[in-house]
């Protein structure tokens, strides 16, 4: 069984929990997820099975789309609804629609985020959440992320109450902490805040409408039809440039040969990656321009072995 299984992750499980569960369901060790979702977050979690585990990094790097809710007036240790309350204030004024739209506009584009203490980033060899659980706060490296789109999913003209919540949609780059984005919204409005709800609705080209629940996966396994729902490895790397090779070259590629860079690929830059396809439409390897010998290209990943090519 090789391919990409789109899971609609339920709340309450870590991404690793989901991988462990699917390993048991499909009785395979080679299973991996493509971008961590916190336990509080539901939605699209592409799971790579078999040979598809070779392309996990390409799916992890894809932009993500989320629909979430920010609640103003309350901040938490984890920046989401599962954390302990750190600060709670009564919101003593109303906010106009224009004020909310203005802060969303200010957070669109390239922004700098500091990862929350409850995150899996490593500092001095330990995960941040390991420090956080012991009550230790350490300096965290800030990162620049890209917020491609940030829109308001609420038709109110005035936002008021002791606490204020509103929904939003965000399209963002790899590495974005959406719960930190919710906190940043509060900061711009002068209020403590946390992310009170979040669903990932898309990961790269994959949408939540295509995803299966654990119950649906179990049903399809019982009926022997799960293979029909596995997406191809090619679908996970469709954003990369393609180059078709003949069978003779394919024999060299499967053994990881360094090749002359074809005339058709002379414009690619160092670091750019190209998918090499057979005449049957199967991607068998990912190559890049050779750094020391730019007239050549070398393998980044070979996706098939000798038996699989024939």
Q: Which residue has the tokens 């300096």?
A: 139
Residue 38 is among the residues annotated as catalytic for this protein: yes
Statement to judge: residues 109 and 18 lie in one domain: no
Shared domain check, 224 and 114 = no
Tell me the pTM.
0.88
Q: Give the Cα separation of 54 and 203 in Å (integer).
A: 18
- One domain, residues 52 and 68: no
Over residues 48-73, the pLDDT tens digits come to 999 999 999 999 888 999 999 999 99
Question: Does position 172 have pLDDT exceeding 80, yes or no?
Answer: yes
Contacts of residue 189, Cβ cutoff 8 Å, sequence gap at least 6: 72, 95, 99, 103
Q: State whether 286 and 180 are in the same domain.
A: no
CB burial string 262-287: b at 16+ within 10 A, e below = eeeeeebeeeebbbbbbeeebbbbbb
Q: Between 131 and 97, where is the model more confident?
A: 97
| Contacts for 127 with CB less than 8 Å, ≥ 6 apart | 119, 120, 121
Instruction: Indicate if the pLDDT at residue 75 is higher than 70.
Output: yes
Average pLDDT, the chain: 90
Q: Using pLDDT thresholds of 50, 70 and 90, give the confidence band for residue 306.
A: low
- What is the mean pLDDT of the segment spanning 104-121? 84
pLDDT band at 294 (very low <50, low <70, confident <90, very high): confident
How many CA within 13 A on the CB side of residue 198? 27
CA atoms within 13 A on the CB side of 186: 29
From CA 13, how far away is CA 161, in angstroms rounded?
32
Number of domains in the chain: 3
pLDDT at 173 over 80: yes
The model's pLDDT over 143-162, given as tens digits with 9 standing for 90+, comes to: 899 999 999 999 999 999 99
- List the 273-277 sheet strands across, edge first: 242-244, 273-277, 283-289, 296-302, 259-260
CA 132 to CA 117: how far, in whole Å? 6
Which CATH number belongs to the domain containing residue 18 in this structure? Answer: 3.30.2350.10
Structural domain boundaries enclosing 261: 240-309
Taking residues 238-259, report their average pLDDT. 92
Which of 2, 17, 38, 84 is the catalytic position?
38
Does residue 139 sit in the same domain as residue 210?
no
Give the mean model confidence (pLDDT) for residues 179-197: 95
């Amino acid at each position: 069984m090789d391919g990409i299984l789109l899971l609609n992750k339920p709340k309450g499980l870590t991404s690793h929990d989901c991988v462990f569960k699917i390993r048991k369901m499909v009785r395979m060790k080679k299973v991996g997820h493509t971008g961590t979702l916190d336990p509080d977050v539901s939605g699209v979690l592409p799971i790579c099975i078999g040979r598809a585990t070779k392309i996990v990094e390409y799916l992890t790097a894809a932009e993500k789309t989320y629909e979430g809710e920010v609640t103003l007036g309350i901040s938490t240790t984890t920046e989401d609804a599962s954390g302990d309350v750190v600060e709670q204030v009564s919101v003593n004024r109303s906010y106009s629609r224009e004020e909310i739209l203005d802060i969303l506009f200010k957070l669109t584009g390239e922004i700098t985020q500091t990862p929350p203490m409850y995150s899996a980033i490593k500092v001095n060899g330990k995960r941040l959440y390991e420090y956080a659980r012991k009550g230790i706060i350490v300096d965290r490296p800030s990162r620049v992320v890209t917020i491609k789109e940030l829109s308001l999913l609420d038709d109110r003209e005035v936002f008021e109450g002791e606490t204020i919540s509103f929904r939003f949609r965000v399209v963002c780059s790899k590495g974005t902490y959406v719960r930190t984005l919710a906190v940043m919204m509060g900061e711009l409005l002068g209020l403590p805040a946390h992310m009170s709800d979040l669903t990932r609705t898309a990961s790269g080209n994959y949408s939540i409408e295509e995803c299966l629940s654990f119950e649906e996966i179990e049903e399809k396994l019982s009926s022997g039809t799960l293979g029909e729902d596995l997406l191809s490895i090619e679908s996970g790397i469709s954003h990369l440039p393609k180059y078709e090779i003949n069978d003779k070259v394919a024999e060299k590629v499967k053994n990881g040969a360094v090749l002359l860079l074809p005339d058709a690929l002379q414009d690619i830059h160092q670091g750019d990656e190209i998918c090499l396809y057979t005449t049957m439409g199967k991607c068998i390897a990912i190559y890049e321009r050779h750094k020391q010998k730019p007239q050549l290209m070398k393998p980044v990943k070979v996706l098939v072995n000798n038996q699989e090519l024939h």
